[in-house]
Structure 1
Amino acid sequence: MNLRTCVVIGGRGFIGRSLVLRLLKLDDRIVRIADSAQSLQLDPSETNSLLPQALSTGRASYFHVDVRNKPQIINAIEGSSVVFFVEAGTSSTHDFYGCYTLIVQGAKNVINACRECKVKRLIYNSSADVVFDGSYDIHNGDESLLYAWKFEDMLTDLKAQAEALFLFANDIDGLLTCALRPSNVFGPGDTEIIPFLVNQAKFGWAKFIIGSGNNMSDFTYVENVAHALICADEALDSRMVSVSGKAFFITNLEPVKFWEFVSRILEDLGYQRPMIKLPAMLVWYTVLLVKWMHAKMASTKLNGSAPLHGVVRLALRTSTFNCSAAQKHIGYSPVVSLEVQENIRCIPTPTLSSLPACCIYGGAGAGAVANILLWRDEKKTFTCFLALVLLYYWFFFSGRTFTSSAAKLLLLVTVTLLGHAFLPSNILGFTVERISSSSFEISEVDMTNLVTAIACMWNRVVQVTRALAQGEDWNLFFKVAVSLYFLKVISSHYLTEAIGVGLVLAFTSFFVYEQYEEEIDGIVNFLVNAMGTAMELLMDNLPPV
């Protein structure tokens, strides 16, 4: 049997591991695993897989490869017939130079090494995100779509540059290339979308649906991506003109509602389905505000705002893709259907450390607050509103000082609790419910979240204070000074009125916005566009300097 040698660069990554195992199932392949780790360390889950046996028999071998080091690439690929470049092994998404050298410069090194070693085929695993910037919906998009004009995250931008390099390198020195664009890959080893959602569910945030919940998305199981890569290799081996130098979208061919997909995942893992709808534009502008604040505070790390931004974009927009070209030209069809109930059990539950500290606090109480403010339970909402109005009157309109009001309130609560304890269990046929001791306890998780939130806010204050102490950011100084001045004015003269207005708005604005979201968004967009036009006219009519 004539064995063909395959090299998988990024073979220990999410997609790379699945591709390696699928190649080993083919009897005519010798697999070289190339990755950035110094040596191959097998996970416990791989003990009973084909990989240990293949390593012992020589059908598989491991090469330490830093794609920034061209001689190491040559050492790994020399004598091979096909190279799969599936992942560059980026360790930090906040280091532009490091990511650029790994993704873009690494692509150049791999291409040049393949040309020098006379490799016949080179296949790059790209992403459907290279044509999706989140500014508009994509319905059944095909390969005629152009690259996105502006990318919201650095990695997608760099991946688009790398993909272009691979496609332009086609048919130079006998090297045939193509690229695959899988959409929203998930499965065992996933470190992005699904772990993020599961981590949100652990702390209560996954109860919310952003927008209408009707947007569609394409998801791709990792086994199908590995299968598509092998199909592309076989098509290039046949020297099909319709494949070389081309890019192909890869999906499970089963577009689903994004929130239905999320709900099925969370239900299978024992979490509650998302039920509470939040206004789409409100969430979007909030995320943009958080992203802007991170940038203005000159934080050395974005603390997960980029992943959060990407997930919110995915949750708001429709992004479905047409795979007819991949079906026709490389013979692709999914080998694993989108049965999340079967597949999701293989995905490890993420840990707390994968979420930014500032995103953790809010927990189980976040859903209860949303239910109250959005009037999901009118009786409970009215009770809470009445209680807050009474407290507002007690502290601000009773004619007493704040300390005196607080002391009398505590005395009233103490007497009420004591009197409740002495009441009989049944009064005139009505059962008196006893208050359990657990009602006065704070769970360890809630306390941890509270302390984490306080620490996060403290660190933000320290960052701002440090920036002010350096005396270089006048923009930040004026923002802090103006904010503190307005806080001083409000607290000195208008504190009572501000709290009253805030109380009324809290119980009306969210409800009204949810009922008339499209109308309000239209008015806001009109005002924003009008202000933009006015500013342009003003700038055009300013006298020249």
Structure 2
Amino acid sequence: MDDPMNPGRRTCVVIGGRGFVGRWLVFRLLNSRGWIVRVADSLPSPQLDPSAELDSLLHRAVSSGLASYHHVDLLRRSSIFDAIEGSQVVFYTDLADLSHRDLYGTYQIIVQGAKNVVTVCRECKVKQLIYNSSADVVFDGSQDLVDEDESLSYPSKYQDTLSDLRAQAEATILLANDVDGLLTCSLRPSIIFGPGDDQYVPLLVKGARAGLTKFIIGDGENMSDFTYVENVAHANIFAEEALRTKMVSVAGKAFFITNNEPVKFWEFVTLILEGLGYERPSVRLPIKMIRYILLLHEWMSEKCGILKGIHCLSAHQIVHLASRTRTFDCYAARKRLGYSPAIPLTDSISRTVDSFGHLSRYSAYLDASDFPECSKAEKILGRGKIAKILLWRDEKTTFACFVISVLLFYWFFMSGRSFVSSMASLLLIVTAVLFAYVSLPLTQSGFALPQVNLNFSKADESLLRDSCRSILLFWNDGARITRELAKGEDWNTFCKVVFSLYSLKIILIHYVAFTAGVVLVSLFTFFLIYEQYESEIDAMAVSLICGARNLKWLLKNFPI
């Protein structure tokens, strides 16, 4: 039925119209000039940015009456009814504010929300309902999927809750097909990316800034299908037309939607990262080692009682996507929907990289809100060169420092010489090397040798001032503690000093080499591990401190 105020145009509703896919779908529908578009989402207002291309078109359409915004609550049927009544087609995509919900809240929005949408569509006599699902609904990470088609059944168990809930919602909508005249179908895009992506590309950039994307999980040969977001919007338009004209072969069915160009997963990641100026992945990590780390992470999270929002990608899902082959056969979409990608993969990646220029490594417009605050480990280490070395920001420099530290450890503790003899020998070698270096001619075999600047008179004044201040503070603290000990008034401090000195004596006599080795290894591993599991380690530390305090209280109040 045409809109009486706009003859020739039909009315459709885009649920989740302010989400990633929803924005592009609204853009395509308005550009087609055949629709009156109702944008429905859980945001109180559309929050339009007139300077953005997608929002600018929507802003003009709202002003001219060709579009409207409806605030909906998927748990209230009356709210959905107000947005859907009088429309012919409903496109159902993810809402814009699903993040940070707990398990029950996410279940309510995805599964119960889908049931409510189906019920209201039947009441309002809607003709077509197109659901935007995901290829994740048939993927549990247990095995590779190679050119799979829609005959693949749902897994019996999912590794991540979000895929499980989406599968339930998809099944609900497909089962509602041909009930009260409602025709339904589902689209299953695989790894959606593109301008406005709030998940995959930001996650890659975050990993690159943390130094994690240098690692390849597995052998790096696994293939994956990706789907550019404009192609997903393109597929929705085709699905609506096919559902209206070829309903027997389309209604009640699901269709895989991809760019039809399978590519190595890590090649795709490399193209995105290098396009934004970040280092390409190069270090391969065994998949078994990663799985053991995940099991340890789950155990620590469970013991510490840490809960996470389930709308974001889980660690298991990331590992499975990064290490498994996932390719899908889009023959059914081509034959029954008439779908073919409007934008090829190369152009899709290029457009995506261009749209995320503000996240580029070399961007002059980096906004602090684009990235998470620096980690506690980085703050503890001072955010300088030491932090970069111990957090493996530059693996070549870190590895060189580690090798030098190991050589010094061997020289002083494992060579069999005394500490004084080792120091004397080291100074002799350094002196001989420096003497030979400064004695060499400026050029050797046509190669210019860099000269060492031996002028130390231009030392940074502020650095010297800070160093002197630190020494004075340390000296004053020592003098104060010594004065308190001499008065015999602070027995708590006395016991601490005695215990520390006795422990130091034991270490220096028996375990100095072992202690030095443990410290050396810990320096290059502890801060890196702490940075990745800050919340878990902090929660464990709080638990241990609380347990120690409780034990101290019990010992104090234990009846004698």
SS of equivalent to 2:299: helix
Supply the distance in 2 between the matched residues of 1:312 and 1:356 (Cα, whole angstroms). 24
- Would you say 1:464 and 2:540 are equivalent positions? yes
Change (3 A) 1:87 1:405: farther
Quote the residue 1:130 is aligned against.
Answer: 137
Q: 3-state DSSP class of the match of 1:288?
A: helix
The answer to whether residue 196 in structure 2 is matched with residue 201 in structure 1 is no
The CA distance in 1 between the partners of 2:80 and 2:398, in whole Å, is 59
Deviations 1:471-519 (A, max 9, x none): 7xxxxx9xxxxxxxxxxxxxxxxxxxxxxxxxxxxxxxxxxxxxxxxxx
Q: Tell me, what secondary structure is at the counterpart of 1:7?
A: strand
Correspondent of 1:49 among 56, 60, 69 = 56
Corresponding residue for 1:531?
none
Q: How many residues align?
A: 453
Distance apart, 1:357 and its partner CA? 7.0
User: How far 1:335 sits from its partner (Å)?
Assistant: 0.7
Matching residue's letter, 2:48? L
AA aligned to 1:251 is: T
User: What residue number does 1:498 align with?
Assistant: none
Write the distance in 1 (CA, Å) between the matches of 2:251 and 2:316.
34
Matched, 1:345 2:354: yes
Note if contact 1:188-1:348 (Cα within 8 Å) is conserved in structure 2. Answer: no
Deviations along 1:189-209, one digit per CA (max 9) or x if unpaired, are 111122111221223222222
Farther off after superposition, 47-56 or 213-222 = 47-56
CA–CA distance in structure 1, aligned partners of residues 280 and 244 of structure 2: 46
User: Displacement, 1:152?
Assistant: 1.4
SS in 1 for 2:345: coil
Check whether the contact 1:93–1:155 (CA below 8 A) recurs between aligned residues: no
**What CA distance in whole angstroms lies between the structure 1 residues aligned with 2:38 and 2:79?**
13
Partner of 2:513: none
Q: Does 1:109 align with 2:116?
A: yes
Q: Deviations over 1:245-303 (max 9, x none)?
A: 00000000000011111111111111222222222222232233223322232113379
Q: Deviation digits for residues 167-195 of structure 1, max 9, x if unmatched?
A: 00000011000100000000111111221
Q: Do the aligned partners of 1:303 and 1:356 also contact (CA within 8 Å) in 2?
A: no
2:78 aligned with 1:71, yes or no? yes
Partner of 1:536: none
1:427 aligns with 440
1:356–1:217 Cα change, 3 Å: farther
Match of 1:366 among 392, 395, 420: 392
Answer yes or no: is 1:280 the counterpart of 2:306. no
* C-alpha displacement of 1:111: 0.5
What SS does the corresponding residue of 2:249 show, helix, strand or coil?
A: coil
Match of 2:412 in 1: 394
Give 1:219's match in structure 2, choosing from 223, 226, 247: 226
Change (3 A) 1:130 1:452: same
Which residue is equivalent to 1:119? 126
Contact 2:231 2:343 in 1 (8 A): yes
Indicate conservation of the 8 Å contact 1:224/1:335, yes or no.
yes
Change (3 A) 1:141 1:17: same
Give 2:332's aligned residue.
325
- How many angstroms does 1:232 deviate by? 0.7
Alpha-carbon distance, 1:372 to partner: 8.5
**Matched ranges for 1:475-490 at <5 A:** none
User: Can you list the C-alpha shifts for 1:434-477, whole angstroms capped at 9, x where unaligned?
Assistant: 3799xx999xxxxxxx9998688775454225445777xxxxx9
Instruction: Report if aligned partners of 1:395, 1:405 keep a CA contact under 8 Å in 2.
Output: no
For residue 151 of structure 1, what is the aligned residue in structure 2? 158
Mean Cα deviation higher: 276-285 or 161-170:
276-285
Q: Return 5+ residue gaps in structure 1 as ranges.
A: 374-379, 443-449, 472-476, 478-545
Task: Establish whether residue 289 from structure 1 lines up as the match of residue 296 from structure 2.
Answer: yes
The amino acid across from 2:350 in the alignment is Q
Q: Secondary structure at the match of 2:197?
A: coil
Which amino acid counterpart does residue 114 of structure 1 have in structure 2? Answer: C
Q: Please, which runs of 5 or more residues in structure 2 have no aligned partner?
A: 1-6, 360-367, 379-386, 444-448, 464-525, 552-560
Residues 1:163 and 1:352: Cα distance change in structure 2 (over 3 Å): same
Distance change in 2, residues 1:303/1:416 (3 Å): farther
Provide TM-score, normalisation by structure 1.
0.73
**1:3 has 2:12 as partner:** no
Summarize deviations over 1:290-319 as a string: whole Å, max 9, x none: 233222321133799953332221110000
SS at match of 1:49: helix
Give, in angstroms, the shift of residue 110 of structure 1: 0.4
Structure 2: which amino acid aligns with 1:17? Answer: R
Q: Provide the C-alpha distance between the structure 2 equivalents of 1:308 and 1:348, rounded to a whole number of angstroms.
A: 27
Residue in structure 1 matching 2:35, options 24, 29, 34: 29
Q: CA deviation at 1:396?
A: 5.8
Q: Secondary structure at the match of 1:273?
A: coil
SS at match of 1:33: strand
| Inter-partner Cα distance in structure 1 for 2:215 and 2:311 | 19
SS at match of 1:25: helix
- AA paired with 2:539? Q
Quote the offset at 1:10 in angstroms. 0.2
Q: Distance in 1 between matches of 2:155 and 2:24?
A: 29
1:15 maps to which of 12, 15, 21: 21
Assess, with a 3 A threshold, how the Cα gap between structure 1 residues 5 and 207 changes in structure 2: closer, same or farther.
same
The answer to whether the 8 Å contact 1:276/1:370 transfers is no
Q: Is the 8 A contact 2:225 2:261 kept in 1?
A: yes
1:367 Cα offset (Å): 6.8
CA drift of 1:345 comes to: 1.2
Moved more, 3-12 or 280-289: 280-289
How many Å apart are 1:222 and its aligned residue? 0.2
Once residues 303 and 312 of structure 2 are traced to their aligned partners in structure 1, the CA distance between those partners, rounded to angstroms, is 13
Partner of 1:253: 260
| Structure 1 match to 2:341 | 334
Deviation of the 1:119 alpha carbon: 0.6
Any idea what SS the aligned residue of 2:235 has?
A: helix
- Give how far 1:349 is off: 5.2
CA pair 463-353 structure 1, distance change in 2 beyond 3 A:
farther
- Contact 1:360 1:453 (8 Å CA) reproduced: no
Instruction: Give the Cα separation in 2 of the matches to 1:191 and 1:218.
Output: 19
| CA-based RMSD | 3.9
**3-state SS of the aligned residue for 1:242?**
helix
Report if the CA contact (8 A) 2:28-2:233 is conserved. Answer: yes
2:478 corresponds to: none
Aligned-residue offset at 1:88:
3.3
Amino acid aligned to 1:4: R
TM-score when normalising by structure 2: 0.71
Alpha-carbon distance change, 333 to 306 in structure 1, aligned in 2, over 3 angstroms: closer
Is the CA contact 1:357–1:456 (under 8 Å) kept in the aligned structure 2?
no
Residue identity matched to 1:92: S
Aligned to 1:38: 44
